[in-house]
Amino acid sequence: NAGVMQNPRHLVRRRGQEARLRCSPMKGHSHVYWYRQLPEEGLKFMVYLQKENIIDESGMPKERFSAEFPKEGPSILRIQQVVRGDSAAYFCASSPIRQSSYNEQFFGPGTRLTVL
Amino acid sequence: GESVGLHLPTLSVQEGDNSIINCAYSNSASDYFIWYKQESGKGPQFIIDIRSNMDKRQGQRVTVLLNKTVKHLSLQIAATQPGDSAVYFCAGGTGAGTASKLTFGTGTRLQVTL
C-alpha cells in the first residue's frame, strides 16, 4: 500500500508565477489536509478537503491560494502570483474515517517551494 | 500550544541515555495528542498517540505522559540511538469518528551524540 504521494518534491518559481502542488492520498483515504511549514517552525494547517468538498479552509490565506480535491485525480493546492514569502515546505496528509476512534493523518514527503 | 520561533530548541543526548522532550499546549478541547518525528527533508512520521482521558501510554522505547492540569505533554525515549536524531513535534486534534485539523507545537530538535 503506497503512502501519501506528493509531486513535485521541489518546485522553483519566479515571483508572479503560479505554483501547483499535487497530492495523492493513501488508498482508501477520502480526506486530505494541507499544511505549510516554514524553516525551523511547526506545521500550520491550511485546508481540509473531502472528495469534491472543502470542509475547513480556516488556515488558507484569503487571496491567491486555492485547493481542490476532485472526484478523480489528486488534490491540488494552487498558489497564484507567488511571492517570496510563499517559499516553504507544503505537506499533504490523508486519513480514513473510522467511527470508533480518531482518524490518524499520514503525511507525504512534502513539496519544497522556492520563490526566486 | 502554537508559538512561532526563529530557532528550534535543541536537546543533546548521549547515545544510550534516555531523552525527554516536552510540549505545552493551549487548546483544552483537544481529544487526543500525537507525537511526530520529522527527519531532514521528510514529512512527519507518527510515533505515538494518547487520548485526553489517559495520562500515560507506552510504546516500543517510547512513553508519552499527559498532564492536563498544567497542559503539558512529554515524550520519553529510552536508550536513545543515533537514528532518533530528528525534530519532534507534538500535535493536538479533536473529534473521534470525525476528521479534524491538527495543531502543531513548535518542535524540538534532538541531537544524539556518540
Residues 50-89 of A with CB under 8 A from B: 55-56, 58-59
CB neighbour list of residue B72: distance below 8 Å, 6 or more residues apart: B22, B23, B24, B25, B66
Give the whole-angstrom CA distance, residue B74 versus residue B21: 6
Asked if the Cβ–Cβ distance from B102 to A43 is below 8 Å, we say yes
Beta bridge partners of A106: A94
pLDDT in tens, B37-64: 999 989 999 999 999 999 999 999 999 9
Mean pLDDT by 10 residues, chain A (116 residues): 90 98 93 92 93 92 96 96 96 80 84 97
Partners of A102 on chain B (C-beta within 8 Å) are: 31-32, 49, 51, 93, 95-97
